[in-house]
Amino acid sequence: MEKKIKALIIGATGLVGNELLHRLLDSEVYVGVTALVRRPTGLSHPKLTERIIDFDEMELAADEFEVQDVFCCLGTTIKKAGSKEAFRKVDYDYPLKAAELAKARGASQYIVVSAIGADPETKVFYSRVKGELESALITLQFDSLHLVHPSLLLGKRNEFRTAEALSGYLSPVFSPLLRGRLARFKPIKAEDVAAAMLQIAVDGEKGTNIYEWPELDEAARRRA
C-alpha cells in the first residue's frame, strides 16, 4: 500500500505547475497539498491549502514546509522579470530558499523543473543560473533530488513567447527528426512534464537524478 504523505508546490499558477497541482490533488499518494503562491490559483479542493505569500519573505510561511515532497515549478524570463538580478531571484534564490526551509523540517524529496543545458560553468546566463541552483540543491543532500531537464515546453499560455510559439508550430515536423542523442532536445508538453514529475516522486530512484526528454516521456507514460 502506498504511503499517505504531504506535498508542497511553488509555481502552481504556471504552465507546468498548474498541470502538476491538478495531478497532485487527484493523486491518492498525497493526503494534503500546500500551494505557496503570489496570486490565487482559482482552485478549491478539500486537499488543497493555498497560501498567498511574498516570496521575498518565504520564511514567514516556514510552518508550511513540514511536508515530505516539495515540487518547484517556479520560473521567469529575463524579459518578464526586468533584469538578470530579478530573474536570478525567481530561478535561484526562491527555489533554494524553499529547499532549505523544507530540508530543515525533514522533507525527503525535492523535484524541480530546471532546463536542458543547465550548467554552472556555462557562459549562457539562463543555463548557468539553472546549473548553479542544481549545484546548491545537491549540497542540501535530500534523500532524493530530481532535476527535470525539459527542452522547449509546449502548452497554452496567456502571454506570447516567440520561441515557444514557433516551436509549437514546427514541432510536429522537426520533433520526429530528433532521434538518438538528439532526442533530449525534443519539445515536450507541459502536461507531460507534470505527469512525469508526479510519477518520479512516486517511484524515482533515491539520490540525485536528472531527467531529459526520453526519461520524462517514459515517466509520463508510466503513470497509473
Which residues contact ligand NAP (rule: CB under 6 A)? 11-17, 38-39, 55, 73-76, 90-91, 113, 115, 150, 152-153, 164, 190
- Least separation in angstroms between residue 22's CB and ligand NAP is 13
Q: Which region, left, alpha or beta, applies to residue 42 given φ > 0 means left and ψ of -120 to 50 means alpha?
A: left
130 has catalytic annotation? yes
| Residue of 6, 130, 186, 189 marked catalytic | 130
Residue 8 grid cell: 508542497
- Residue 29: CB partners within 8 Å, gap ≥ 6? 2, 3, 4, 5, 198, 201, 202
Q: Which is nearer to ligand NAP, 152 or 216 (CB)?
A: 152
SS3 call for 154: strand
Q: Which is nearer to ligand NAP, 79 or 206 (CB)?
A: 79
Rounded Cα distance, 19 and 188, in Å: 13
Q: To the nearest whole angstrom, how small is the minimum distance from the Cβ of residue 3 to ligand NAP?
A: 27
Q: How far is the CB of 176 from ligand NAP (least distance, A)?
A: 19
Closest CA to 69 of 149, 3, 121, 152: 3
**Toward ligand NAP, which CB reaches closer, 151 or 199?**
151
126 catalytic? Reply is: yes
Q: Which residues are catalytic?
A: 126, 130
